[in-house]
Structure 1
C-alpha cells in the first residue's frame, strides 16, 4: 500500500481547534518587497498561559526578514481602555494588517484555499485526507473544521485539495 493511500485511510479526531488557535503567527506577503513576512503577537505581550482569544486583542507586529520592513498594530480602545475591535478571522487576508496571506492558492474551480501557517496546513491536510472524521464532543458546531466550506470537505475534491495543501506546505 502506498503512503498516500495509507495516510488517507486514517481516522481524524477534531480537537476543537478554532481559527484563532492558528493566529499566533501568520505568514503574509510583505507590503514592501512582496516576500514572506510574519505577523505575530508583539513580544511584550506573549505571556505564558494567556488564552488565544486574549492574544488576538494584544498588539501585533509585522516583520519581514527579506527586506527588514516592520509595522505595529494595536486594537482600537474605548473610554476605559478596553478593546473595541476584535480582528475578523476569515478569508485570505490577515486579520490585523489586512495583508494577503502568503499561503493561498486557487483550488477546485477558482476557489481560494488558504492557511495562516504550517500548523494550520497540517490540521487541514489531516482532516481532508481522513476517511473518517470525528467531531469533538464539546465544541458543537463551533470548531474550525465544522466551518470549513463544503467544497473542502467533499470526498470528490479530496485529491485536488490535498494537492493544493502540499503546494502550500512547499511555499511555506
Structure 2
C-alpha cells in the first residue's frame, strides 16, 4: 500500500512529479516538503514546521533548503532539511504532466467544470445528457462517473452542466 506522501508525489500514470520539477518541466505550484516526522532534540516532542509554497512562475530549483522549525512544547528552534517539490492535488483543473492551468475550464454556480481536451468534454457531455443512467447506484469504482462531484451528477444541475460542457466543447473546437 502506498503512503500518503507517495500518492501525492506520483501521478496516476506513475510519472514522478519530483522528476518533472527537477527537469524544469513543471510549471505549476511548488511546496516545501520535509524528509519525515521531525522531533525536538531537547524534549522529543513534535516540531511545528512552517508551510511554504510558491506560485508556478518562475520555476524554482528543487535543491535542499533549511527551515527553522519550532518545538510545540519547549519552543526550541531546530533547523530542518526540506526540498521544493511540485504540488499537485487530484481534482485541480491543472495538467498533471506540467502543472499548467487547463484552458478548458469554466466556473459554474456549484464549482469549476473542466476537461483535458475535446474528447474528454464530449465524454462528460454524453454521460451527463444520457437519460439511461443506472439508478441502482452501480457505478464501477474505476469509471469516470464515480469520480465526478455530486453537483455534476445531480439532476437539478443537469441543464446548467450540459450548457457549460457545450461551451467547453465549442471552445475546444475553436483551437
Q: TM-score, structure 1 length as denominator?
A: 0.46
Larger Rg: 2
Greater RCO structure (CA 8 Å; 6+ sep) = 1
Q: TM-score, structure 2 length as denominator?
A: 0.46
